[in-house]
Structure 1
Amino acid sequence: MDWISTLLHAPTTSVFWQLVASGVAVGMIYATIAFGYQLTFATSKTLNFGQGEALMLGAMLGLTLLPYLGYWLMLPVILIFGMAQGAVVERLGVRPAIETKSEFGWIMATIALGIIFRNMAENIWGRDDLKFPSPLPETAIELGAVRILPAEIMVVVGALLMMAAVETFNRRSIYGKAFVATSNDIDAAGLMGIDTRRVITMSYAMSSMTAAFAGVLVAPVTLTGATMGAVLALKAFAVAIIGGLDSALGAIVGGILLGVIETLTGYYVSTGYKDVPGLILVLIVLAIRPAGLFGRRTIKKV
């Protein structure tokens, strides 16, 4: 077995596993945002294309509150803020489009609101990237040949806990059961007395809450700025397509897959090409399995 130990501690192998660990941390951020996409798609078959701005606002507001509340007391405030921001997006941008049966109106409305939120952030906090202090020690933890920052571990654990909490809420609470009923059949849920409009609002609130939470998770391992969410949200949308828009497991697998592929490509090929394999993967999945790797195929009656 000595050859296995030698292989695991070889320099090239060490770099590989280091890249994989970093890719998993990045991928879990993608997964958390993709999970937010799934929440709104389940209830209304719409998506919030301003998810990146919800993440950015969570990080920027968290940075502002950090000196007064500390990291752990700041978190619940950010969660509440994220829910309020998502409810505003649904009420102003999505509900009018649904009520007027505008097929694509919600797309432009959520994009427009995202741009407005980004411009507001630039005017409040400026355009410069800012450093977000980490609540954990910045000394790397050595796991064999791999060195991992505590903040990266916090990203993975925090993302998994957030998604588990939302899933538990959906399965155990009366409001969560209304959410599940609406996602299964919105018309039948309405006939059973469920206020589907309120459920859709709740889905947008929870979606933005997960994005804002992702913002304060990723902020300590990257720079915080008004444009930080745009690229993350776009890649998270690719993750949602890869994993499937109706599968939480698909979001996790797709996020990790994309994150690892990006980091490996950036190191072994070129940083200029690190986005290419992910886009190729999206095209392959759409060609072979349009519903995503873990998505359910639906038959639409006409």
Structure 2
Amino acid sequence: MDVLMQILFSGCAVGMIYAVIAFGYQLTFATSGTMNFGQGEALAVGALIGLTIVAHVNYWLMIPVVLIFGALYGIGVERIGVRPAMKLKSEGWIMATIAIGIIMKNVAENIWGKEDVKFPSPVPEVSLPVAGANLLPMEILVVVGAIALMVAIELFNRKSIYGKAVVATAADREAAGLMGINTSQVITFSYALSCATAAFAGVLVAPLTLAGAGMGASLGLKAFAVAIIGGLTSGVGAIVGGLILGISETATGYYLSTGYKDVPGLVLLLLVLALKPAGLFGKTTIKKV
């Protein structure tokens, strides 16, 4: 029982990080039908910028700066890599966002080096006994922070005028444009918000792992799998998909080997793509031609 609880708690902490990044994929896909495949690099550079700042200020004061960086990075990705491709109605945004991500990774390696470094934890690193499991305070903070961020974005979309413009654009971009909504600005905003969430995820997960220029590659890829598994149109799907992947990885690493921990998530991804391509909670869209 203690082992099961340990796997559950640890898997939830990892899964919520995947969910936050997957939530970012969903934000841009909803408004523009595109995604930033350099999302993992936004996470890594956000963590490294946070590492630099946290050496001089409190962890909590560092977070707004990291969010601003993430938003600016997202605006740059949309303006440079996505908008030109959308005007041409091409799929060039895929390679463009990948290229920007590679450039950011190389820049990060030249500034901070290629070695992973320890990120100081804002909470004590002594594990706490919870329901028979040993839980790090940072793992609790990761879950709380991830849920708080996603709830804040949902409330923003539901309660604010600009948030309703985002929802309207996601529902029907052409109709939103006819109603006077500047859909180009909404898409730019969705990219800013998406990369801000990724940068925030970086400073959440770094104290549990290590901060480095390459830390985002695996996380970004797994989060994309989570977005596909849960459904690119469902925020709930991102959370459920993240928890499924996080817990399955943790359980596989414990019962089999850490070398096999990626297998269950990939198998689930293949099954979802074969049986329910829209994702577990996604909605199949019908295009009129």
Q: TM-score range by the shorter chain?
A: over 0.9
Distance 1:232 1:269 in 2: 21
Q: Which amino acid aligns with 2:242?
A: G
Query: How far is 1:16 from its partner?
Result: 2.1
Q: Which amino acid aligns with 1:112?
A: A
Residue of structure 2 equivalent to 1:61: 49
Q: Which amino acid aligns with 1:139?
A: V
Aligned pair count reads: 289
Residue of structure 1 equivalent to 2:197: 210
Residue of structure 2 equivalent to 1:168: 155
3-state SS of 1:180 partner: helix
Residue of structure 2 equivalent to 1:123: 110
Distance 2:262 2:125 in 1: 28
Residue of structure 2 equivalent to 1:7: none
Does residue 1:152 correspond to 2:153, yes or no? no
Moved over 3 A (4+): none
Does residue 1:190 correspond to 2:193, yes or no? no
Post-superposition CA distance 1:183-205 (Å, at most 9, x none): 00000011111111000000000
Query: How far is 1:15 from its partner?
Result: 1.6
Distance 2:76 2:157 in 1: 22
Does residue 1:261 correspond to 2:260, yes or no? no
Larger radius of gyration: 1
Residue of structure 2 equivalent to 1:139: 126
The percentage of counterpart residues that share the same residue type is: 68
**Higher mean C-alpha deviation, range 204-213 or range 286-295:** 286-295
Distance 1:64 1:15 in 2: 37
3-state SS of 1:292 partner: coil
Query: How far is 1:126 from its partner?
Result: 0.2
Q: Which amino acid aligns with 1:243?
A: G
Distance 1:97 1:184 in 2: 21
Query: How far is 1:144 from its partner?
Result: 2.5
**Higher mean C-alpha deviation, range 35-44 or range 64-73:** 64-73
Structure 1 runs not aligned, ≥5 long: 1-12
3-state SS of 2:120 partner: coil
Q: Which amino acid aligns with 1:114?
A: G
Question: Which of 13, 29, 44 is the equivalent residue of 2:17?
Answer: 29
Does residue 1:82 correspond to 2:73, yes or no? no
3-state SS of 1:142 partner: strand
Q: Which amino acid aligns with 1:40?
A: T
Residue of structure 2 equivalent to 1:225: 212
Q: CA RMSD in A?
A: 0.7
Q: Which amino acid aligns with 1:274?
A: K
Question: Which of 260, 281, 289 is the equivalent residue of 1:294?
Answer: 281
Distance 1:175 1:267 in 2: 45
Contact 2:5 2:131 in 1 (8 A): no
Q: Which amino acid aligns with 2:38?
A: G
Q: Which amino acid aligns with 1:68?
A: H
Normalised by the size of structure 2, how large is the TM-score?
Answer: 0.99
Normalised by the size of structure 1, how large is the TM-score?
Answer: 0.95
Distance 2:268 2:178 in 1: 41
Query: How far is 1:298 from its partner?
Result: 1.4
Question: Which of 209, 215, 227 is the equivalent residue of 1:240?
Answer: 227
